[in-house]
A and B are shown apart, each in its own frame.
Chain A
């Protein structure tokens, strides 16, 4: 029985050599925190440098959109947040949401060979298990980005990753929609390797976005759509959101790709409109 590989900074730092996250002194490891995003935001406000990493073995209040939590079982998942200080207009930072999802997609593929499916803007889904390939895909990774900005300047951005790696069971309330890499493959995975792969891949995406050219964004959107089966032609309901032009609490339509700002285009009875934010439910499963 292998001992769990803890996400200590001295275990992670050597795997991050050459990256912006390699400084062991700026990799902050916690046995238990409320939320790595909360800790990172506090540190960022106090001046922690770009590239600081906050990683925990367990969270008591892992956070998602709105009132969504993230079930953060001890020693089984990756709960990791990083601080960025990009010099770009605040309105361009939303591309990080897509970039973070793509980074996880590539990292998981690199380490496990799995092809995770991206659900806009950045949930990651997998078939429920090796023997259940026809069942609806379940979520194994969520990402939450939080920003502090002035009108034309970003102070800091925190991007948090919550990934189910070696979980074997989930609480009843989420069991129908949660999975882990272990459940999907039938084997355990080293969290240190996965965490390092995610950070390397995310930095690659980040550096491309820092160039901030229309070309780099179009390329990002094209790659996102290529790894997202729901980007086109799925019947979905968007809950708890506004779309530009309709402050409705709920919106139903057919997905029609991403627009040039990365917003999901939804074909509805009232025409095609961009969705700015919201939770997506599939109606054709």
Chain B
């Protein structure tokens, strides 16, 4: 996961007011805890263009401040991000015109195919590595995808 994706992830967590988050896929481990109101939320944009983003500071507050969260009364939750292991083109469905593998609100099980990322006629079926509810689609059909780019956010049901 690169600087830009980490920044996007943090922005997403801020937008959804998620206090604690863990991602573990292969070599990539990300753990973020944030306090309620420390960071001004930036606009969340998922650009397909691999233009290097300015080296924005990405350090999220490390020490959680218990009870400091202002605003929504939603309990803190853990969201799982499913990321792409390859550079390629994102497809939401098995073939053009067929229904998408999943949509927001769907319950998925670990190992279920969520999408395809294609690089030069190598089709990579991306599976969910947790069971739970798909809460966000983070890529558009036909969009170019970078290595490690988050594709889906899944609210783990365990």
- Is A94 a contact of B144 with CB atoms below 8 Å? no
**Which of chain A's residues have a CB closer than 8 A to the CB of B118?**
65, 276-277
- Is B121 a contact of A65 with CB atoms below 8 Å? yes
- From B85, B98, B148, A150 is in contact (CB under 8 Å) with B85
Asked if A163 is at the interface of the complex by the 8 Å CB criterion, the answer is: no
Q: Which of A101-125 contact B (CB under 8 A)?
A: 120-122
Measured between alpha carbons, how far is A277 from B95 in the docked complex, in Å?
A: 14
**Which of chain A's residues have a CB closer than 8 A to the CB of B96?**
66-67, 240
Asked if A165 is at the interface of the complex by the 8 Å CB criterion, the answer is: no
Q: Which of B80-121 contact A (CB under 8 A)?
A: 83, 85-91, 95-98, 118-121
Measured between alpha carbons, how far is A278 from B50 in the docked complex, in Å?
A: 19
Measured between alpha carbons, how far is A143 from B121 in the docked complex, in Å?
A: 8
**Which of chain B's residues have a CB closer than 8 A to the CB of A171?**
none
Chain A-chain B contacts (Cβ-Cβ < 8 Å), number? 120
Which of A23-31, A75-83, A198-206, A243-251 contacts its partner?
A243-251
Asked if B123 is at the interface of the complex by the 8 Å CB criterion, the answer is: yes
Determine how close the nearest CB of chain A comes to the CB of B96; give it in whole angstroms.
5
Q: Summarize A's interface: helix, strand, loop or mixed.
A: loop
| Size of interface on A: residues with Cβ below 8 Å to B | 41
**Which of chain B's residues have a CB closer than 8 A to the CB of A122?**
120-121
**Which of chain A's residues have a CB closer than 8 A to the CB of B97?**
67
**Which of chain B's residues have a CB closer than 8 A to the CB of A121?**
120-121
- Is A147 a contact of B122 with CB atoms below 8 Å? yes
**Which A positions have Cβ atoms within 8 angstroms of B?**
65-67, 89-91, 93-94, 96-98, 120-122, 143-153, 157, 240-247, 249, 261-263, 276-278
A-B contact pairs, 7 of them (CB 8 A): A120-B120, A146-B124, A149-B86, A150-B25, A151-B26, A242-B89, A245-B49
> A122-B121, A240-B142, A243-B144 known; 12 other A-B pairs, CB under 8 Å?
A66-B95, A98-B120, A143-B121, A146-B122, A146-B125, A147-B125, A150-B26, A151-B28, A244-B50, A247-B142, A247-B144, A277-B118
> Which A-B residue pairs are the 6 nearest by beta carbons?
A152-B26, A151-B26, A151-B25, A121-B120, A67-B95, A90-B85
